[in-house]
C-alpha cells in the first residue's frame, strides 16, 4: 500500500517552495501526496509579489474531503497566513489520528511575510502543542520564543524554548548559521545532531518545505521520528547540492535529484 501524506500549505507559483515543493518531495519519496491550499502566492525567484488567503470554510472543506474519504498517514503544515487559519488547522490536526509535522513558516527567503504578526500567539498556544515534530528555522525560533541563536551551542537553548510550547519533538534548523549545516532534533530527553556539509549554492529556495515534507513522508512509511528526520536530512542535502538557477534570483532545490542521478 502507498502511504497517503497531506500538506496544508500555500501555493508558490514559481514551483520551488510551498505546496508545489511538498508534492514533488512526496513523489520523490514514494508516497501519495495530497494538498489543502491555505493561500495563493504570486511568487518567483525574486520574491513574493502578492498573497491571498483562502476562506476558513475552503480550508476546512478541503481537509474534510481528504481525511474523511481517503485517510492520511501523516500531515505536514506550512504557510498558514492568519491567526484564524492557524487555529482552524490546529483544531483539524487535533482531531486527526496521524503524526503532524509543523513547519511554522514566518517569512520567505526574500524577507516577505507569510504569516501575520497577530498569528504568532496562535502558533505558540494552538499549533505547536499538536505537533509531532516542529521544524522552525532560526528566524522563526527568534520570532516565537525570543531566543537568538548565533552558534551551534545555542541550538540547545532554542530547542528547550520551543519544546516549552508542547510539540513532541523539535528540529531546530541551523541552516542559516555559517559552517556545516547542523540541525538539532530533540524531544527533551534524546538528542540527535544532524550534520551535513554546507553546499555553496545560492539556489536554495524551498529547503524548509522540502525537509518538513520529507519528514512527513518517512513518518507515513512507518519510520520513527529520529529515523524519518535522518532520511529527510539526507534527501534535502542532496536536493540543495543539485539546486539550479531559475529566473533572475534564487532558484529552487532539485526535488528530482535522485531520479536524475541515474539518468
Ligand atoms: N547551504 C546549505 N547546504 C547544506 N544544507 C543546508 C544549506 N542551507 C540549509 N541547509 C539545510 O537545509 C535544511 C533547511 O534549513 P533552513 O534553515 O534553510 O530552513 P528554512 O530557513 O526553513 O528554509 P528557507 O531558508 O528556504 O526558508 C536544514 O537541514 C539545513 O541545515
Ligand atoms: C507558499 C510558500 N510557503 C512557504 C515558503 C517558504 O519556503 P521555504 O522555507 O521552504 O524556502 C514560501 N516561500 N512560499
User: Is the residue at 150 inside a domain?
Assistant: no
> What pLDDT is stored for residue 262 in this prediction?
62
Residue 118 pLDDT greater than 70, yes or no: yes
> What pLDDT is stored for residue 178 in this prediction?
87
User: Is the residue at 149 inside a domain?
Assistant: no
- Based on the residue annotation, tell me whether 204 is a catalytic residue of this protein: yes
Q: What is the domain range of residue 91?
A: 4-137+203-256
Residue 109 pLDDT greater than 90, yes or no: no
251 Cβ closer than 6 Å to some ligand 2 atom: no
Give the global pTM: 0.98
Residue 86 pLDDT greater than 90, yes or no: yes
Residue 53 forms beta bridges with which residues?
39
Q: What's the domain count of the chain? A: 1
User: Is the residue at 120 inside a domain?
Assistant: yes
| C-alpha cell belonging to residue 130 | 499538536
Whole-angstrom distance, CA of residue 249 vs CA of residue 221: 35
CA distances from 215 to 66, 209, 226 (A): 20, 10, 9
User: Is the residue at 262 inside a domain?
Assistant: no
CB of 169 within 8 A of CB of 134?
yes
CB of 165 within 8 A of CB of 120?
no
Strand, helix or coil for residue 49: strand
User: Is the residue at 237 inside a domain?
Assistant: yes
Model confidence over 126-136: pLDDT tens digits? 999 999 999 99
Mean pLDDT in residue range 65-91 = 98
Q: What is the CATH number of the domain that holds 121?
A: 3.40.1190.20
Model confidence over 184-234: pLDDT tens digits? 999 999 999 999 999 999 999 999 999 999 999 999 999 999 999 999 999
Residue pointed to by grid coordinates 493561500:
39
Percent of the chain with pLDDT over 70: 99
Residue 261 pLDDT greater than 80, yes or no: no
Mean residue pLDDT of the chain comes to: 96
Mean pLDDT in residue range 50-65 = 98
User: Is the residue at 165 inside a domain?
Assistant: no
User: Is the residue at 183 inside a domain?
Assistant: no
Residue closest by Cα to atom 4 of ligand 2: 18
CA distances from 56 to 98, 151, 215 (A): 22, 39, 26
- What's 37's DSSP letter? E
| Pocket perturbation via mutation, ligand 1, pick of 79, 113, 175 by most ligand atoms within 8 A of CB | 175
Model confidence over 31-43: pLDDT tens digits? 999 999 999 999 9
Q: Which residues of 30-60 are buried (b: 16+ CB within 10 A; e: fewer)?
A: ebbbbbbbbbbbebbbebbeebebbeeeebb
Residue closest by Cα to atom 20 of ligand 1: 208
Q: How many other CB atoms sit within 10 Å of the CB of residue 226?
A: 16
Residue 260 pLDDT greater than 90, yes or no: no
- The helix (H) or strand (E) run that includes residue 193 is strand 191-196
User: Is the residue at 151 inside a domain?
Assistant: no
Residue pointed to by grid coordinates 499538536:
130
Amino acid at each position: 500500500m502507498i502511504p497517503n501524506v497531506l500538506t496544508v500549505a500555500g501555493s508558490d507559483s514559481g514551483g520551488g517552495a510551498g505546496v508545489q515543493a511538498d508534492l514533488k518531495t512526496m513523489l520523490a519519496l514514494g508516497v501519495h501526496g495530497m494538498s489543502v491550499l491555505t493561500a495563493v502566492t504570486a511568487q518567483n525567484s525574486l520574491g513574493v509579489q502578492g498573497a491571498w488567503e483562502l476562506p476558513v470554510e475552503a480550508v476546512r472543506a478541503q481537509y474534510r474531503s481528504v481525511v474523511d474519504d481517503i485517510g492520511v498517514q501523516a500531515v505536514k503544515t506550512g504557510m498558514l497566513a492568519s491567526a484564524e487559519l492557524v487555529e482552524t488547522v490546529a483544531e483539524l490536526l487535533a482531531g486527526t489520528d496521524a503524526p503532524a509535522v509543523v513547519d511554522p513558516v514566518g517569512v520567505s527567503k526574500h524577507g516577505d511575510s507569510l504569516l501575520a504578526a497577530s498569528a504568532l500567539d496562535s502558533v505558540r498556544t494552538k499549533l505547536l502543542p499538536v505537533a509531532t515534530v516542529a521544524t522552525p528555522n532560526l528566524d522563526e525560533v527568534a520570532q516565537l520564543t525570543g531566543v537568538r541563536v548565533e552558534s551551534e551551542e545555542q541550538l540547545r537553548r532554542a530547542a528547550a524554548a520551543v519544546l516549552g510550547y508542547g510539540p513532541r519533538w523539535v528540529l531546530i534548523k541551523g541552516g542559516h548559521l555559517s559552517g556545516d549545516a547542523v540541525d538539532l532534533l530533540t524531544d527533551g530527553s534524546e538528542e540527535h545532531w544532524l550534520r551535513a556539509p554546507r553546499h555553496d549554492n545560492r539556489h536554495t529556495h524551498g529547503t524548509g518545505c522540502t525537509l518538513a515534507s520529507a519528514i512527513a513522508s518517512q513518518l507515513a512509511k512507518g519510520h520513527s521520528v529520529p529515523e524519518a528526520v535522518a532520511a529527510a536530512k539526507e534527501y534535502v542535502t542532496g536536493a540543495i547540492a543539485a539546486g539550479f538557477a531559475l529566473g533572475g534570483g534564487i532558484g529552487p532545490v532539485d526535488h528530482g535529484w535522485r531520479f536524475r542521478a541515474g539518468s
